[in-house]
Amino acid sequence: MRKTVIRSAAAAILVLCAGSFGSHAQDASEKEIERYREMISDPMSNPGYLAVDRGEALWGEARGTKNVSLETCNLGLGAGKLEGAFAQLPRYFADADKVMDLEQRLLWCMQNIQGLDTKDVIARRFSGPGRASDMEDLVAYIANKSNGMKIDIPLSHPKEQEMVAVGEALFYRRGGVNDFSCATCHADEGKRIRLQGLPNFSKPGKPAQETMGGWPTYRVSQGALRTMQHRLWDCFRQQRWPVPEYGSDVITALTSFLQKQAAAGELNVPSIKR
């Protein structure tokens, strides 16, 4: 008995060694990234907080044909109430009769409260060199008001349940020239693509909580604050799918499904990632 235990322990160590030999480079770079993350995770040095400040100014700025600010926009918890709103999105909005994520809701408020033509706002949905994004800045500001709170999307309305159910079906829907779905990369434990670790979103738990609790984020490699809209746009690009429409239902359905898997995860945003 004891011998078997020792033998299997030795075998386990061998397996571990074989595994760590190949992933040595990953460990080293992961450690470096972790160290870097710690260095810049301080709000005073995370450039994502510049977006938070810009978002705050945009929230209070009178715009559109009605020349009013967004301050009466209801993000689910009451007109103008921002604390905790992001932790409970996407959700159903009776006035629009639709489940919306934060971006969809902001566009709705711009159109309906401010009378703002959102064509230009949508054209600048993703920032680039010399091109600021109102949406990224507003999301950074509003999401930051849920810091320290737990992800908890409402699921009592039938349309909210539908969103999550469709989101799950879409998570497993394969397509594109490579037959890829979200699940191809995100339905198993401890896998990686090249050296990049892949969180498992097929079940509720820590990988989903840590991921969803860290978006929006400042992407160092892109020098920009990015939201889940951009993250999923980039996933579809790598999946070899067509360009997804900004602020559309597939994105919201997947976000709802991911939020459900991430339930009780704590928000700390904007975070900073490579």
Partner 1 sequence: MKRVLTLAALVLAAGFSTTAASAQTAKAPNPALVDAYMKSTFGKAPPEWQARIEPDETLKTCNAYHNEVPSAEAEKITAREMARVVYPADGKFLGNWKEGAKIANNGRGGQFSDPPDTVSGGNCYACHQMEQKEVSYGTLGPSLTNYGKDRKYDPQEIKNAFTKVYDSQAVFACSNMPRFGVNKVLSEQQIKDIVAFLFDPESPVNK
Minimum separation from the CB atom of position 122 to partner 1 (A)? 13
Minimum separation from the CB atom of position 161 to partner 1 (A)? 6
| Cα–Cα distance for residue pair 233/72, rounded to 1 Å | 30
Is 235 labeled as catalytic in the residue annotation? yes
**Residue from the set 10, 57, 169, 264 that interacts with partner 1 by CB under 8 A:** 169
Q: 173, exposed or middle or buried, with CB in 10 Å at 0-12, 13-18, 19+?
A: middle
If one asks whether residue 99 binds partner 1 (CB under 8 A), the answer comes out as no
Q: Nearer to partner 1 by C-beta: 181 or 268? A: 181
Phi, psi dihedrals of residue 125, rounded to the nearest 5° = -60, -35
If one asks whether residue 173 binds partner 1 (CB under 8 A), the answer comes out as yes
**Residue from the set 4, 148, 190, 221 that interacts with partner 1 by CB under 8 A:** 190
Structure tokens at 32: 């470096």
**Residue from the set 20, 45, 72, 178 that interacts with partner 1 by CB under 8 A:** 178
If one asks whether residue 124 binds partner 1 (CB under 8 A), the answer comes out as no
DSSP 193: E
Minimum separation from the CB atom of position 164 to partner 1 (A)? 7
Size of the site for partner 1 (CB under 8 A): 48
| Cα–Cα distance for residue pair 189/207, rounded to 1 Å | 9
If one asks whether residue 238 binds partner 1 (CB under 8 A), the answer comes out as yes
Residue list 3-32, contact with partner 1 (CB under 8 A): 22, 24-25
Instruction: Tell me which stretch binds partner 1 (CB under 8 A): 130-138, 162-170, 220-228, 261-269.
Output: 162-170
The residues, any chain, with a CB within 8 Å of residue 62's CB and separated by 6 or more, are: 68, 69
Q: 121, exposed or middle or buried, with CB in 10 Å at 0-12, 13-18, 19+?
A: buried
Give CA separation, 73 vs 81, 118, 194, 196, 269, in Å: 8, 16, 44, 39, 21
Phi, psi dihedrals of residue 78, rounded to the nearest 5° = 120, 155
Q: Tell me the catalytic residues.
A: 235
Enumerate binding residues for partner 1 (CB under 8 A): 22, 24-25, 161-162, 164-166, 168-170, 172-181, 183-185, 187-188, 190-196, 198, 236-238, 240-245, 248-251, 253
